[in-house]
C-alpha cells in the first residue's frame, strides 16, 4: 500500500472514530436531557403532594428526582433541608445534608427565599461564620430589604469583636435612615455596645432616642431600664417617674418602676407599686401574672402577707373574670399554703373555662383527694372521665379513689381498664399493677397481690411504691424476709429520708430479730415523719420494747392508741404494759 492510500485509510479511521465518539456524546446528552426532564416532572408531582400535606410521598418523590439529576442544586437544596431535620442526631448525615443546601446557596445566592431558609438554619445551629456570609451576601444583593439588613446586623452584633459591633451599628443606622427612630433598633444597638462595655455609646444612643421624642412615656421607661442596668439609681428613678407622669395609663412604666424598687431592695416601695401595677387595665395580663407570681414566691411563707396576696389575686379576678391563668395561679398559691379545699375550687373554675387539658383534670383529682372530701373527689373523677373516658391516667386515679374507699370490686375493674389502655407506658403500667396488688392485699388475696407486685417491678424495677409495699407485706406475713430486706434497702438508697420506707425497713429488721438496727431506722423514720401515724408509733413501741426500754415503748403505744382507739391489740399492750404478738 502506498503512503497516500495509507494516509487516506488512517484519516478514514479517525473520522470514523470521531463520528462514533460524537454519536456516543450525543446519545449521552440525549439521556442526560431526558433524565433532567424526568426529574423536573417528578419534582412537579412531588410539589403536588407537598401542597396536599402528604409529606412522606413528597420526600419519596423528591429523593427519586434528585437521584435522576443530582446536578440540580435546587433539588439538592430541598432534599438537604429535609434531611437536616430527619438527621438532627446524626452529625455525619446532618452535615452532608447541610452541604447540599450550601451548594445551592453558592450557586444561586440571589434565590431569595432559599437563601433566607439556609441563613436561618445556620443561625439555629450556631454556624456564626456561615450566617454572616449568608446575611452579608444577601444584604449586598438586596440592600432595600430591611429584614435582611436586620438579620445581618444581628449576626454581626453577636460577636465580641469591636469591628463587627461597629459594622452592626452601621447596618442598624441604615435601617433607621429608611424607617425612622425606633426603640427596637436602639435597644439592639445598646445591646451590641454592651457586649464591648462601651458605656459612652450606650448613653449616646439613648440620648438620640430621647431627643427624637422626649415626651414619649415608653422611651422614658426604656431610659429608666438602661440606667438601672448601668446601676445609676438616681437617673433610673428619674426616668421611671417621668414615664409614669407622662402617661398614667402606661402600665409598663409602673411595672418597670416596681421591678426597679425590687432590684434595689426597697420592699415597701415594691409592695406599693405591685398594687398600682395590678390596677392598670392597660397592662397585659402576662406582665401582671409575672409580677404577681414573683410577689407570691417571695412572700407566701409570711402569714402576715397572705391577706395582701389574696387581695391582689381578687383584683386580677375582677379585671379578668374569665381568665384561666388567674384561677391557675390562685390555685397554685392555695395549694402551697395547704388550703386544698379552696385550691380545688379555683381549679374547678379554671376547668369550667377550659376543660380540654387532661393533665389539669389529673391535678384537680389530686387536689380533691387532698381535701378528704369523698363526694368532691368522686364528682371530680366523673367529670374528668366525661371529657376523657379513655384516659389511662384518669382511670388509674379513679381506681385509686375507689380502692381508698373500699369499693374493691369496682377498683379492680377500673384499674384493669386503665392497664389495658396504658399502651407502651411502662412506668404507668407499673404504677397501675402496684395499685392492683395493693387492692388484692386488702382483699386478703395474698398470692395475687404478690404476683402483681412482681409484674409491677418487671415493668419498672425502680418503682419505689411497689418495692416498699411488696417488702412491707412480705414482712407482715413473715415470709421471704431476706428478699423483703433487699427490696426495702433499694427504697432507702433512693430516698433515704422517706419515713414510710424507713419504717418498712425497720419493721423487716424487727421481724428478723435484728432489734438494735431496727431501732436505728425507726428513730430515723420518727425524725423525718410529720404525720404522727398510729402505725409508726406502734412499730416504734414494739421495737423499743424488744430493745429493753419498756417505758419508752409504752409511750409510743399510748400515742398510737390515741390515734387509733379501736385497735384491740394496742389496747392490750397499753393495759398490760407489755408486748403481744397477737
Q: What is the pLDDT of residues 41-77, one digit of tens each?
A: 888 888 888 888 787 888 888 888 888 888 889 988 9
> Can you list the alpha helix ranges (DSSP code H) found in 126-216?
128-141, 146-157, 162-179, 183-195, 199-212
End-to-end CA distance of the chain: 130
Q: Where are the beta strands (DSSP E) in 206-360?
A: none
Whole-number average pLDDT of the chain: 88
Between the alpha carbon of residue 86 and those of residues 98, 318, 467, the distances in Å are 12, 49, 40
- pLDDT given for residue 30 in this prediction: 64
Nearest to 118 by CA among 84, 86, 93: 84
Between the alpha carbon of residue 378 and those of residues 369, 374, 405, 413, the distances in Å are 9, 6, 10, 16
**pLDDT over 70 percentage in the chain:** 93
- pLDDT given for residue 32 in this prediction: 63
Indicate whether 197 pLDDT > 60: yes
Q: What is the CA radius of gyration of the chain?
A: 37
CA atoms within 13 A on the CB side of 370: 18
Q: Which DSSP state fits 281?
A: S
Helices (H) and strands (E) in the chain, counts: 31, 0
Indicate whether 225 pLDDT > 60: yes
Q: What is the mean pLDDT of residues 395-404?
A: 96
**pLDDT level of residue 8 (50, 70, 90 thresholds):** very low
Alpha-carbon gap, residue 191 to 476, rounded angstroms? 67
Residue environment code for 196-235, b if the CB has 16+ CB neighbours within 10 A, otherwise e? eebeebbbebbeebbeeeeebbebbbbbbbbbbeeeeeee
Nearest to 187 by CA among 211, 228, 219: 219
Q: What is the pLDDT of residues 348-378, one digit of tens each?
A: 999 999 999 999 999 999 999 999 999 999 9
Q: Which of 23-32, 406-415, 453-462 has the lowest mean pLDDT?
A: 23-32
Q: What is the mean pLDDT of residues 155-168?
A: 89
Q: What is the pLDDT of residues 493-536, one digit of tens each?
A: 999 999 999 999 999 999 999 999 999 999 999 999 988 899 99
Alpha-carbon gap, residue 339 to 146, rounded angstroms? 54
What is the phi/psi pair of residue 388, to 5°? -135, 70
466 close to 437: Cβ distance less than 8 angstroms: yes
- pLDDT given for residue 18 in this prediction: 47
Q: What is the mean pLDDT of residues 146-160?
A: 90
- pLDDT given for residue 1 in this prediction: 46
- pLDDT given for residue 558 in this prediction: 95
The three cell numbers of residue 219 are: 422611651
3 or 208, greater pLDDT:
208
Q: What is the pLDDT of residues 251-266, one digit of tens each?
A: 778 878 888 988 898 8
- pLDDT given for residue 46 in this prediction: 80
Indicate whether 152 pLDDT > 80: yes
Indicate whether 432 pLDDT > 50: yes
Instruction: Please identify which residue in the block is written with the cell numbers 389496747.
Output: 571
Q: What is the mean pLDDT of residues 192-204?
A: 93
- pLDDT given for residue 29 in this prediction: 57
Total residue length of the chain: 582
**pLDDT level of residue 273 (50, 70, 90 thresholds):** confident
574 close to 561: Cβ distance less than 8 angstroms: yes
504 close to 494: Cβ distance less than 8 angstroms: no
What CA dihedral angle connects 349, 350, 356 and 359, to 10 degrees?
-110
Q: What is the mean pLDDT of residues 294-316?
A: 76
Alpha-carbon gap, residue 353 to 332, rounded angstroms? 17
244 close to 228: Cβ distance less than 8 angstroms: no
Q: Which DSSP state fits 144?
A: T
511 close to 475: Cβ distance less than 8 angstroms: yes
- pLDDT given for residue 4 in this prediction: 45
123 or 6, greater pLDDT:
123
Indicate whether 301 pLDDT > 90: no
Angle, CA of 490, 494 and 496, to the nearest 5° = 100
Return all residues near 12 (Cβ < 8 A) that are at least 6 apart.
none
- Give the DSSP H or E segment for 232: none
Alpha-carbon gap, residue 175 to 150, rounded angstroms? 8
Indicate whether 291 pLDDT > 80: no
Instruction: Please identify which residue in the block is written with the cell numbers 422517706.
Output: 498
18 or 361, greater pLDDT:
361
- pLDDT given for residue 5 in this prediction: 45
- pLDDT given for residue 554 in this prediction: 95
**pLDDT level of residue 16 (50, 70, 90 thresholds):** low
Q: Is the pTM of this model over 0.75?
A: no
424 close to 412: Cβ distance less than 8 angstroms: no
Indicate whether 7 pLDDT > 50: no
Indicate whether 165 pLDDT > 70: yes
Q: Which of 14-28, 72-86, 228-242, 320-334 has the lowest mean pLDDT?
A: 14-28
Alpha-carbon gap, residue 218 to 88, rounded angstroms? 42
- pLDDT given for residue 22 in this prediction: 53
Task: Give burial (CB, 10 Å; 0-12/13-18/19+) of 579.
Answer: middle
Alpha-carbon gap, residue 159 to 141, rounded angstroms? 23
Q: Which of 19-33, 269-283, 490-504, 512-526 has the lowest mean pLDDT?
A: 19-33
Q: What is the mean pLDDT of residues 190-208?
A: 93
- pLDDT given for residue 295 in this prediction: 72
Amino acid at each position: 500500500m502506498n503512503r497516500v492510500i495509507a494516509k487516506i485509510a488512517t484519516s478514514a479511521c479517525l473520522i470514523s472514530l470521531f463520528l462514533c465518539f460524537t454519536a456516543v456524546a450525543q446519545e449521552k446528552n440525549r439521556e442526560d436531557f431526558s433524565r433532567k426532564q424526568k426529574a423536573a416532572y417528578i419534582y412537579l408531582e412531588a410539589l403536588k403532594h407537598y401542597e396536599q400535606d402528604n409529606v412522606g410521598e413528597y420526600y419519596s418523590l423528591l429523593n427519586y428526582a434528585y437521584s435522576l439529576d443530582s446536578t440540580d442544586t435546587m433539588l439538592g437544596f430541598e432534599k438537604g433541608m429535609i434531611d437536616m431535620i430527619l438527621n438532627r442526631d446524626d452529625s455525619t448525615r446532618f452535615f452532608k445534608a447541610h452541604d447540599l443546601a450550601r451548594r445551592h446557596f453558592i450557586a444561586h445566592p440571589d434565590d431569595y427565599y432559599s437563601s433566607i431558609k439556609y441563613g436561618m438554619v445556620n443561625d439555629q445551629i450556631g454556624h456564626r461564620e456561615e450566617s454572616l456570609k449568608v446575611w452579608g451576601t444577601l444584604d449586598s444583593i438586596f440592600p432595600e430589604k430591611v429584614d435582611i439588613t436586620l438579620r445581618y446586623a444581628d449576626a454581626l452584633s453577636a460577636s465580641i469583636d469591636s469591628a463587627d459591633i461597629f459594622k452592626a451599628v452601621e447596618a442598624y443606622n441604615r435601617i433607621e435612615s429608611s424607617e425612622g427612630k425606633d426603640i427596637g433598633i436602639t435597644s439592639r444597638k445598646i445591646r451590641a455596645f454592651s457586649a464591648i462595655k462601651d458605656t459612652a455609646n450606650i448613653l449616646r444612643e439613648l440620648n438620640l432616642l430621647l431627643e427624637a421624642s422626649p415626651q414619649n412615656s415608653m422611651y422614658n421607661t426604656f431610659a429608666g431600664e438602661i440606667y438601672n442596668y448601668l446601676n445609676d439609681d438616681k437617673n433610673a428613678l428619674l426616668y421611671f417617674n417621668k414615664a409614669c407622669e407622662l402617661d398614667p395609663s402606661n402600665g409598663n412604666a409602673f411595672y418597670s418602676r416596681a421591678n426597679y424598687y425590687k432590684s434595689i431592695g426597697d420592699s415597701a416601695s415594691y409592695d406599693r407599686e405591685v398594687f398600682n401595677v395590678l390596677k392598670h387595665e392597660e397592662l397585659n395580663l402576662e406582665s401582671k401574672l409575672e409580677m404577681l407570681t414573683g410577689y407570691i414566691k417571695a412572700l407566701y411563707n409570711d402569714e402576715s402577707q397572705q391577706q395582701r396576696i389574696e387581695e391582689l389575686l381578687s383584683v386580677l379576678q375582677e379585671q379578668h373574670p374569665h381568665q384561666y391563668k388567674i384561677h391557675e395561679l390562685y390555685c397554685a398559691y392555695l395549694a402551697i399554703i395547704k388550703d386544698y379545699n379552696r385550691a380545688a375550687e379555683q381549679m374547678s373554675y379554671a376547668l369550667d373555662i377550659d376543660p380540654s387539658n387532661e393533665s389539669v383534670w389529673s391535678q384537680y383529682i389530686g387536689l380533691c383527694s387532698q381535701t378528704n372530701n369523698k363526694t368532691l373527689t368522686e364528682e371530680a373523677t366523673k367529670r374528668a372521665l366525661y371529657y376523657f373516658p379513655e384516659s389511662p391516667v384518669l382511670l388509674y386515679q379513679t381506681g385509686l379513689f375507689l380502692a381508698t374507699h373500699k369499693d374493691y370490686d369496682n377498683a379492680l375493674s377500673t384499674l384493669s381498664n386503665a392497664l389495658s389502655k396504658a399502651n407502651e407506658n411502662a412506668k404507668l403500667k407499673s404504677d397501675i399493677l402496684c395499685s392492683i396488688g395493693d387492692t388484692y392485699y386488702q382483699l386478703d388475696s395474698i398470692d395475687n397481690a404478690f404476683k402483681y407486685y412482681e409484674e409491677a417491678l418487671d415493668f419498672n424495677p425502680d418503682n419505689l411504691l411497689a418495692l416498699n409495699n411488696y417488702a412491707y407485706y412480705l414482712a407482715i406475713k413473715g415470709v421471704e424476709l431476706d428478699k423483703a430486706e433487699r427490696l426495702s434497702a433499694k427504697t432507702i438508697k433512693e430516698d433515704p429520708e422517706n419515713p414510710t420506707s424507713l419504717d418498712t425497713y425497720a419493721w423487716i429488721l424487727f421481724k428478723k430479730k435484728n432489734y438494735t438496727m431496727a431501732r436505728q431506722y425507726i428513730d430515723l423514720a420518727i425524725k423525718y415523719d410529720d404525720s404522727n401515724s398510729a402505725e409508726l408509733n406502734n412499730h416504734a413501741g414494739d421495737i423499743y420494747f424488744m430493745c429493753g426500754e419498756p417505758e419508752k415503748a409504752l409511750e409510743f403505744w399510748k400515742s398510737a392508741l390515741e390515734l387509733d382507739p379501736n385497735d384491740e391489740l394496742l389496747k392490750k399492750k397499753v393495759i398490760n404494759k407489755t408486748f403481744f404478738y397477737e
